[in-house]
Amino acid sequence: MKKILKSDNWYLKCGIFITGFILIVILIGQFWTPYDSGYMDGAARLEGPSFAHIFGTDNFGRDILSRVIEGTGTTFLVSFCINLIGLLAGTMIGAAAGYRGGLFDDLLMRICDAITAFPNVMLALVIIAVFGSGDLNIIWVLGILFIPSYARIVRSQFVQQKSCNYVQMAKLMGASPLRIIFVHILPNIYSTLLPAATIGFNNAVLAEASMSFLGVGVSANKPSLGRMLNEAQSFLVGGAPWYAAFVGLAIVLLVMGLSLLGEGLQKEQLRGKK
């Protein structure tokens, strides 16, 4: 911790500060929010920011601050799961393809290329249209769509590392391929994977928000940043611009914190290599 505070890596510092702040708010939001996020106050519809409602109220008279806090939590959790699926499966596929090589490698990578050839959100919409929406479905679908980018990174690293002498040495000691992959190569590419995972998380947040914005995200009774932004757009000109502004701010803050974190980690890694 001291090392981070002392370092001149401002990306990393700001990233940790913002992401940390958001995480604390999400954590508090699990136990306490200023109002019940579902409570509708008919007398206070579309009210501007005030002491009673710091972020104002929406068209049903619900407190926007409470809904933003809970919505950030939902978005964060969903993105985390999406990212986790992408990262784990992508690492497995990339490691197998990169270490094995040959036709097997070509086959896996061409499948990944095929998936990446479609715009993520569009492909997700098609799949959701076929299988129906739902919290779990959105996580699975987006998670699978995140696999190729991880698989590619891990594969390229494996191709590079497997010809290194230390891998040959481990082979000569009789180590099995699984042992070489997990014990020797994976720890060595960890520093490349970590920034990639942070940036991937970022994309997952945006993907989840876009899906909710389009109305196929998490179920409607849970507040989610994307869905709130969707609702807010009809009042953007009509009289409650703060609604969209505060929800947008939450998304921007979340994405900015994560991308600063990713950028900072990458810088730290580059410095380590020097």
Closest distance to another protein from the beta carbon of 168 (Å): 6
The residue from 1, 3, 42, 102 that contacts another protein (CB under 8 A) is: 102
Which residue from 179, 219, 234, 252 is in contact with another protein, where contact means CB under 8 A? 179
Nearer to another protein by C-beta: 9 or 188? 188
Candidates 4-12, 183-191, 202-210, 246-254; binding stretch for another protein (CB under 8 A)? 183-191
- Residue 187 is a binding residue for another protein (CB under 8 A): yes
Considering the rule CB under 8 A, would residue 188 count as an interface residue with another protein?
yes
Shortest distance (Å) from residue 112 CB to another protein: 23
CA 64 to CA 53: how far, in whole Å? 8
Closest to another protein by CB, 184 vs 227, is: 184
Closest approach, Cβ 246 to another protein, in A, equals 45
Could you tell me the CA-to-CA distances from 71 to 14, 103, 146 in Å, in that order? 23, 45, 22
CB under 8 Å to 257, separation ≥6 — which residues?
14, 15, 17, 18, 19, 21, 22
Instruction: Compare residues 164 and 252 and give the one whose CB is closer to another protein.
Output: 164
Looking at the Cβ atoms of 99 and 242, the one nearer to another protein is: 99
- Does 169 participate in binding another protein (rule CB under 8 A)? yes
Q: Which long-range contacts link 129-133 to residues 24+ away (Cβ below 8 Å)? A: 133/216, 133/217, 133/219
d(CA 127, CA 168): 43
Q: Which stretch binds another protein (CB under 8 A): 75-83, 142-150, 178-186, 204-212?
A: 178-186
CB 207 within 8 A of CB 121: yes
x/- mask, another protein, residues 129-168, rule CB under 8 A, reads: -----------------------------------xxx-x
- Residue nearer to another protein on the CB measure, 126 or 164: 164
CA angle 205, 30, 204 (to 5 degrees): 10
Which residue, 177 or 239, is less far from another protein as judged by CB? 177
Nearest alpha-carbon partner for 235 in 223, 246, 221, 250: 246
* Cβ–Cβ < 8 Å for 256, 7: no
Binding flag, residue 171, another protein (CB under 8 A) = yes
Rounded CA gap, 221 and 36, in Å? Answer: 13
The nearer residue to another protein, 5 or 173, going by C-beta atoms, is: 173
d(CA 199, CA 201): 5
Q: Which listed residue (170, 194, 214, 245) binds another protein by CB under 8 A? A: 170
State the Cα–Cα distance between residues 241 and 244, nearest whole angstrom: 6
Cβ 254 vs Cβ 245: under 8 Å: no
Interacting residues toward another protein by CB under 8 A: 102, 164-166, 168-176, 179, 183-184, 187-188
